[in-house]
A and B are shown apart, each in its own frame.
Chain A
Amino acid sequence: MTTTHPEGTARSSSGQPAILRLTAVEKRYGGVHALRGVDFELRTGEVHGVVGENGAGKSTLIKIIAGAEAADHGSIEIDGQPLAAGSTTSALGAGIATVYQEPQLFGELTVAENVFIGRELRRSGVVDRRAQRDRVLELLHRVGLDQGLVDVRVADLPVAEQQLVSIAKALSHDARILILDEPSAILTDREIETMFAAVRSLRDSGVAVIYISHRLDELAQITNRVTVLRDGSVVASRDTATLSVREVAELMVGHALESGTADRTAPEGEPVLQVERLTRQPKFYDVDLSIRPGEIVALYGLIGSGAGDVVRALFGIDPADSGVVRIAGKEVSLRSPADAVGHGISMLPANRKVQGVFGTKSIAFNISSGHLKMLSRWGIWVDRRRERDIAGDFIKQIRIKAPGPATRVDNLSGGNQQKVVLARQLVERPHIMLLEEPTQGVDVGAKDEIHRIIFELADAGAAVLVVSADLPEVQQLADRVLVVRGGTVTSEFHRGARAAELLAAAAGDAEPTGERSGR
């Protein structure tokens, strides 16, 4: 990252005055110490990257700056003046605007309407459409959007442009500080360039930008300085030009905190699942992988890398366009979940609320819903006793904290809900188990439990494929790690690989050359 990008982003911003300053900010959530004495400084006319692992404190920091949360201790100052804590109105009024990952726009309304929806400019009671339109045209210009789009329906715009509209909307609050939360997560390569151009232009016009990202390779292209958070503290805050992707990764992960890895020997033998040149444009392409019985392979990649899509293709949810999948040597077609299940494949979906649980139903209902034919006499008559017994067994075996099989699932904690969905996948011993983000939003205790179950599965001979963006989890579980970036597998590591290496491979350019990272 020591290369000077043509746009000169790597130049230092040290000459500029500070517009935002946080001093010794502390924040606890119950027992979790989210921020420990954080000092943070943002200068005018700079793009300041903030990076850190999940749980490092990034989102808490942002919430405090944006006024969604109040710090327990410490101060925030804008232009030297203290900022009222915990008030989004004050923050907005002071010129702090936030743009989140998913553009929160109304698809059916035009660009101009979206910018001012709910707070239309009025003149003596009537909406001042002329003033609004002029303002929107100006904002579009600032973010680099074609001004002809002002009356276009937002749903007709590609995602990247929708995001620019979100940015324009944030700016319409007369923002002097713009917080961008993972802006590139949902964008493709070309679109990211558009977004970068907008950010640079804003920076040049005097807006200070806080740029949160997991994609370390982007930092060189867009940021002036980078602050690295780890476990609630700032471990470094330096000019981008002085850091390499590898160094940032090391800082994020920490030397002493190498996550433990399980004491497992990788099994030998013929692979039970072989995937060749699996492609589904534009999500992933040319994916090759193979898994042996008893082996745990991780697909490790950032959000949007395509890892999740691979797994969903293997389960027949969004089937691949081309490529070959072989199970036990025989070529198979996986065009629906029924096909997958028929070949002994089971999948734990990523988002349990949307893709996993039947919230208003009981544990027993949830678990048996994937195996109705098996649990029914003659395939029709549900054997309720057996269903209850199986549910009861699982509750005991995987320690689901619930009074009984009849408990409504949406009364359970996140971790226990996840266990219920996992139990559903385990009823008929799968030969190949696919898991997507198995411990997302799950407490530590349940996380360990789920990992234990995964190990037991593998020990019993199943081939396990885990998709996870959680680095410690990947290190803990995987016999082999396939790093996915930009829709394909870019590197492979074995158990015991260093966290920083994995992170760098997934998040940044491993080659220190002048080439733009080939995402």
Chain B
Amino acid sequence: MTVQTTSPERATGPDKPDRLSTWRRALDLVLSERVALLSVLLVVVVGYFYLLGRQGYLVAPYDTDYLASALETLVPLCLLALAELLVIVSGRGGIDLSVGSIVSLSGMAFGAMVGLWGWAVLPALLVTVVVGAALGAVNGLLVAYLGFPALIATLATYYAFGSVALLSHDNAPISTGPIQDAHSLTQAVSVPLLGDGFPDLPLQVATFLLPVAVVVYLVVNRTSYGRRLYAIGTNDIAARFANIEVRRSRFSAYVASGVLSAVVAVVTVAQFASARPDAGSVGSGMALPAITIAVLGGVAISGGIGRVAGVIIAALLVVWLNAGILLAFEGSDGSQFQLFALGALLVLSALLNAYSVRRGRGTG
């Protein structure tokens, strides 16, 4: 009869002598609690660039106005990173490589509705979200019900959706009048109540990012659906025994990813005053930075682990770091060093994840 001997529960027993100095304990905490670590890094980064700016090394001042305007890039990145959070947390190798293509395709749909058929923004937004959901449902069907590995399924839909987006308007952007007008959705506005002292924020932060982020946070942390998601990501066999509908929950994670991508599409169209068929494929595509931020934010690739707070702070870190890099370097050097920062951050955070898991602490 084998007796399972494991290390005792995480109890604060009297056995640990106070040899660890407070510094060491703080370091331990920061390394194991991802949110804490990211917050510290955020402060360090912002502080560093601010100082650089004060000493004149930067092309333009790294001040609150600049940081506020940089939030423009935060919105799409953060939303897509949250989409990846949902999908990766759902487990069984969950990932969504097709988010960029969904952005492109639903963006074209939005563009068609508002720019070609004269719809008002709100109904068009709602239908666009439905389109995103439908596209996400294709992924969900393939992964959750048909058993395709997520990497393959979303790679295929990345190609397929992207292709349809390019075909949809003869590979030409839609930039008609109503679309141009939609740009007003994303201009910088002053924050009410805080007035002039506080920098102007891009409107979409308040109208899109904040509400969506709050909803995602609540869904993930406070609803039964969120629990189910984490359960199936941790152990989908135990979840089945616990009477959780594994396939349906996993399916809906991909649908949610599609919805979030559709929201990003609308923001992007408004921001650039144009619905571009390749909106999601700029650079190496939108999926890559989204996944990077999710992993940086503490989402475990194996599933079941990941916090919304971590992802949001990670997104903020990346955005403000990139913003600082842009000012610190001349010309296109800046965008190049952004690549370096992104790659380095990813590798280092993954090494940290692996190290924490080995030490038995999880990824915080």
Contacts and interface: CB of A to CB of B under 8 A. Distances in A.
Interface string B220-239: 00111111101100110111
A365 B5 CA distance: 23
A347 B240 CA distance: 11
B234 A359 contact: yes
The secondary structure that dominates the A interface is loop
Given A317-B240, A401-B9, A412-B9, A361 B222 contact: no
B7 A360 contact: no
Interface stretch (B36-44, B203-211, B242-250): B242-250
B3 interface: yes
Contacts of A381: 222-224
Contacts of B362: 360, 408
Contacts of B286: none
Given A361-B230, A372-B224, A381-B222, A402 B237 contact: no
A376 B223 contact: yes
B6 A382 contact: no
Interface string A432-455: 000000000111000000000000
Interface in B1-52: 1-12
Contact of A338 (B226, B230, B243): B243
A432 to B, nearest CB: 14
Given A356-B241, A360-B362, A382 B222 contact: yes
B223 to A, nearest CB: 5
A237 interface: no
B224 A380 contact: yes
Given A365-B227, A382-B222, A408 B2 contact: no
Contacts of A373: 224
A360 B357 CA distance: 11
A411 B234 contact: no
B11 A403 contact: yes
Contacts of A54: 1
A424 interface: yes
A411 B362 CA distance: 12
Interface in B229-283: 230-231, 234-235, 237-245
B358 to A, nearest CB: 15
Contacts of B224: 372-373, 375-376, 379-382
B304 interface: yes
B223 A337 contact: no
Interface in A343-402: 347, 349, 354-361, 365, 368-370, 372-373, 375-376, 379-382, 384, 401-402
A239 B11 CA distance: 55
Contact of A347 (B5, B241, B245): B241
A358 B235 CA distance: 6
A110 interface: no
B3 A414 contact: yes
A379 B227 CA distance: 12
A17 B7 CA distance: 48
A349 B10 contact: no
A403 B305 contact: no
Residues of B in contact with A, size category: 35 or more
Nearest to B363: A360
B266 to A, nearest CB: 26
A401 B6 CA distance: 13
A313 to B, nearest CB: 14
Interface string B132-159: 0000000000000000000000000000
Contacts of B237: 354-355
A437 to B, nearest CB: 12
A360 B235 CA distance: 10
Interface in B268-308: 304-305
A411 B238 contact: no
Contacts of A410: 6
Contacts of A380: 223-225
A215 to B, nearest CB: 20
A318 B21 CA distance: 55
A355 B305 contact: no
Interface string B52-75: 000000000000000000000000
Contacts of A402: 9
A413 interface: yes
A107 B7 CA distance: 35
Interface in A209-262: none
Contacts of B223: 376, 380-382
Contact of B227 (A355, A372, A424): A372
A411 B243 contact: no
Name, among B4, B227, B241, the residue most crowded by chain A CB atoms within 10 Å (CB to CB): B241
Given A354-B237, A361-B234, A415 B6 contact: no
Nearest to A53: B1
Nearest to A414: B4
A55 interface: yes
B2 A441 contact: yes
Contact of B231 (A55, A338, A358): A358
Contact of B235 (A55, A359, A370, A375): A359
Contacts of B243: 337-338, 340-341, 370
A407 interface: yes
B242 A369 contact: yes
Contacts of B7: 411
Nearest to A372: B224
A405 to B, nearest CB: 12
Interface string B192-212: 000000000000000000000
Contacts of B231: 358, 361, 365, 369
Name, among B4, B226, B231, B235, the residue most crowded by chain A CB atoms within 10 Å (CB to CB): B4
A358 B305 CA distance: 11
Contact of B241 (A55, A337, A359, A382): A337
Contacts of A408: 10, 362
Contacts of B234: 358-361
A2 to B, nearest CB: 33
B346 to A, nearest CB: 22
A382 B222 CA distance: 6
Contact of B242 (A401, A424, A441): A424
Name, among B225, B238, B244, B304, the residue most crowded by chain A CB atoms within 10 Å (CB to CB): B238
Contacts of A382: 222-224, 226-227
B236 to A, nearest CB: 10
Contacts of A413: 4-6
Contact of A360 (B3, B227, B239, B304): B304
Contacts of A407: 9-10
Contact of A356 (B4, B225, B238): B238
A384 B223 CA distance: 10
3 shortest interchain CB distances as A-B pairs: A414-B4, A372-B224, A55-B1
Given A347-B241, A356-B238, A441-B2, 13 more contacts: A54-B1, A337-B242, A341-B243, A355-B238, A360-B305, A368-B227, A370-B242, A380-B223, A382-B223, A382-B226, A403-B12, A411-B6, A412-B9
21 contacts: A347-B241, A349-B238, A358-B235, A358-B238, A360-B234, A365-B227, A370-B244, A372-B224, A373-B224, A375-B224, A380-B223, A380-B225, A381-B222, A381-B223, A382-B227, A408-B10, A411-B7, A414-B4, A441-B2, A442-B3, A442-B4
